[in-house]
Structure 1
Amino acid sequence: MLYNIIMLPTKNDHQLGMEFVCIEELVPQDHLLRKIDKVIDFEFIRDKVKDLYCADNGRPAVDPVVLFKMLFIGYLFGIRSERQLIREIEVNLAYRWFIGIGLRGKIPDASIYREHDLSGDI
């Protein structure tokens, strides 16, 4: 018995191409996080925690505004696990835009919440 095998072309160029993108353009203007970002200035968080940070010893600190915004995303969108929150931030452009980490930026590890007892129940 003979079988005819039809080879369909595959498209794998998404792994090879390089594109210049602006994350600002990829997040819809009407996204909830854009609306929140317009009305809440999260800079007050730095003032609240500045005495808890030491500039001359230990490893570099993670920006407290980034940490807070990550927890805020978890609360707002019902993401209850720190690990799941990190996974969601890795793939969601609006989340990355909101916390100020671009497409190639490093997202803090989930352990940061346990090390500083920040999570409780997100």
Structure 2
Amino acid sequence: MLKDRPQTQSTMEFVSIDELVPADHLLRKIDKVIDFSFIHDLVKDLYCADNGRPALDPTLLFKLLFIGYVFGVRSERQLIREV
């Protein structure tokens, strides 16, 4: 038997990361002070251009590990969950 269900979601909600992270957050301050673009230049010769799967951005990987170090997250799995 079919029943009429009440509508559970009436409108869409859009969330911006900029709205979720406070302006005075430590990571925003670090991002303003440190330019991480040098990492790509250091490791570009270690990646193959025409073989294997596309790699994740090495700058992103370094930033993840840096965040884990700053906030004392010892597990990479926990770090990914928290990020």
TM-score, normalised with respect to structure 2: 0.83
Pairing 1:106-121 to 2, within 5 Å after superposition: none
- 1:35 equivalent in structure 2: 29
* 2:41 match: 47
Report deviation, 1:60. Answer: 0.8
Shift of 1:18: 2.1
Runs of 4+ deviating beyond 3 Å: none
Which residues of 2 match residues 8-87 of structure 1 at below 5 A? 13=8, 16=9, 17-87=11-81
Cα shift readout 1:23-80 (whole Å, capped 9, x = no counterpart):
1122100000000000001000000100011121100101001100000011000000
CA distance in 1, matches of 2:18, 2:76: 25
Which one-letter code corresponds to 2:27 in the other structure? L
Question: What residue identity is the alignment partner of 1:70?
Answer: L
| 1:21 Cα deviation from its structure 2 partner | 2.2
Question: Which stretches in structure 1 are left out of the alignment for 5+ residues?
Answer: 1-12, 90-122
RMSD: 1.2
How far, CA to CA, are the matches of 1:57 and 1:18 in structure 2?
Answer: 42
State the number of aligned residues. Answer: 75
TM-score by length of 1: 0.58
Aligned partner letter, 1:36: I
Give the % identical residues. Answer: 79
Unaligned ranges ≥5, structure 2: 1-7
Structure with the larger RCO, 1 or 2 (CA within 8 Å, 6+ apart): 1
